[in-house]
Structure 1
Amino acid sequence: MVRERWMLFDAARQRTIPVMLYLPARGSSKQQLKPAILSHGYGGRNTKYGFVAQTLVAQGYVVASIQHELPTDAPMPTVGNVRQVRQPFWERDVQNMLFVRQALARKFPGVELNELLLVGHSKGGDSAMLFAEEHPALAARVISLDNCRMPLPRAARPRVLSLRSSDQVADPGVLPTPAEQAEFGTMLVQLKNTVHNDMWDGATKAEKQEMSAAISRFLTK
């Protein structure tokens, strides 16, 4: 796997978007690449989800891991109606993802845009779910690493996998009912020993293997 730093600038919003690209090693299979956009948890770094990126690259994806929060950004609110006060922060992430999606298409002309995969941890997962709600035709699959606030889409597209931690409970209405899971093909995987704050490169080897295996199963179905 090859890592490449990529600095983008959205002139319309006057915003820098730092990205870490993860690509198949040079000389590997010439298969057509699929795009994946990875979003970190709040307070995290886009460079700290390498094990997830490695799992995706092995499945034929080029992965763009976005640094959503910048040092000049205001902190995300911790009081008030969560859905209301945090939605602007998720929306900013969605705009970042849309910009990076187009940048990937320019940088890799053969990339299969109709196969876009979104992956996000915690707040990054909430942002990915908001993207899926607002732009369902643009994402083929979405993977949530324990998002707890933004409801998972109740739709056949995009297909959804949500890995659930052993210590956090999602807000009411976030997770689909068993009937909805069956209707829309949504996959919920309960992780037995992985806590919410360990769903990044700081996880143990066993935790990483558990998460990577669930992701791989989802992507090969």
Structure 2
Amino acid sequence: MQSCRFFLLAFVIFNCLTASAQLQKTVPVTDSLYDAARRRPIPLLIYGAGQTDKLRPAIISHGYGGGYGAYAFIAEYLVANGYYVISIQHDLPGDTAMPTAGKPYEVRMPFWKRGAESILFVINDLKEKQPGLDYKNMLLIGHSNGGDMSMLFAREHPQLVANVISLDNRRMPFPRASRPRILSLRSSDQPADSGVIPGATELARYRMQVVKLPATRHNDMWDGATDAQKMEMLGYIRTFLHLKD
């Protein structure tokens, strides 16, 4: 599922990152929006401050049952490389539990749609408050269920997203299109449902990058990962986004 060239380049970058200094810690700003049409608050963590002109926006969506502060290692890395990062808290007290019975694509779709609507609300609000951001390079990152809602958003609003990074989304099929560009990091222990990941022909046609991480489980893809796991994930992210620093 991974091209040799992409793997070798990421491996070199991984070694460079491992030998480099630790990322500078960024203290996020806590904020909250309110979507009056849905009567729903949208808690946020904002990474990045000061001058925002020409920074690239990125939105992180957590896995089901997780929290918006669980992916600081990715947020801090992106901030250090010219991104303005917002992490959304999707699961709120009082929300109905996501069904565990039935076909996941059908019973979980309302939850993905709710998440996609929150992402859209955040983007529209961001455009009003931060007009100087580089919206041509919008990045979505989602883990597990957050990856599913990010893929749904990419399918419904491809004109708004340049790049999507999926951390092991398992249920929502990848959009079969050249835009946005897609990188999916796959765990060693949780397979995707049939039809979620395109076959080799479509992967090549749409230039999608799918990489299996043999030493990383589904539940390792957050701040609780080991340093080696974090550096491996960041190495692939760096290669995918063509980051130089």
Kindly state the Cα deviation for residue 55 of structure 1 after the two structures are TM-superposed.
2.1
Residue number in structure 2 paired with 1:70: 92
Say yes or no: does 1:8 pair with 2:33: yes
Structure 1: any 5+ residue segments left out of the alignment?
A: none
AA of the residue aligned to 1:142:
V
Residue number in structure 2 paired with 1:81: 103
Say yes or no: does 1:166 pair with 2:192: no
Residue number in structure 1 paired with 2:47: 22
3-state secondary structure, aligned to 1:208: helix
Q: CA RMSD in A?
A: 1.4
Q: d(CA) in 2 for partners of 1:137 and 1:112?
A: 14
Question: Does the CA contact (< 8 Å) of 1:55 and 1:216 recur in 2?
Answer: no
Q: d(CA) in 2 for partners of 1:119 and 1:53?
A: 10
3-state secondary structure, aligned to 1:95: helix
Q: d(CA) in 2 for partners of 1:161 and 1:52?
A: 14
1:1-221 matches, within 5 Å, as: 1-23=26-48, 32-220=54-242
Question: Does the CA contact (< 8 Å) of 1:121 and 1:146 recur in 2?
Answer: yes
Question: Number of paired residues?
Answer: 218
TM-score after normalising by structure 2:
0.86
Q: Percent identity, please.
A: 55
CA displacement 1:181-203 (0-9 Å, x = unmatched): 11111001111201001100011
TM-score after normalising by structure 1:
0.95
Structure 2: any 5+ residue segments left out of the alignment?
A: 1-25
3-state secondary structure, aligned to 2:108: helix
Kindly state the Cα deviation for residue 98 of structure 1 after the two structures are TM-superposed.
0.2
Kindly state the Cα deviation for residue 81 of structure 1 after the two structures are TM-superposed.
1.3
AA of the residue aligned to 1:22:
Y
3-state secondary structure, aligned to 2:236: helix
Question: Does the CA contact (< 8 Å) of 1:59 and 1:216 recur in 2?
Answer: no
Question: Does the CA contact (< 8 Å) of 2:203 and 2:209 recur in 1?
Answer: yes
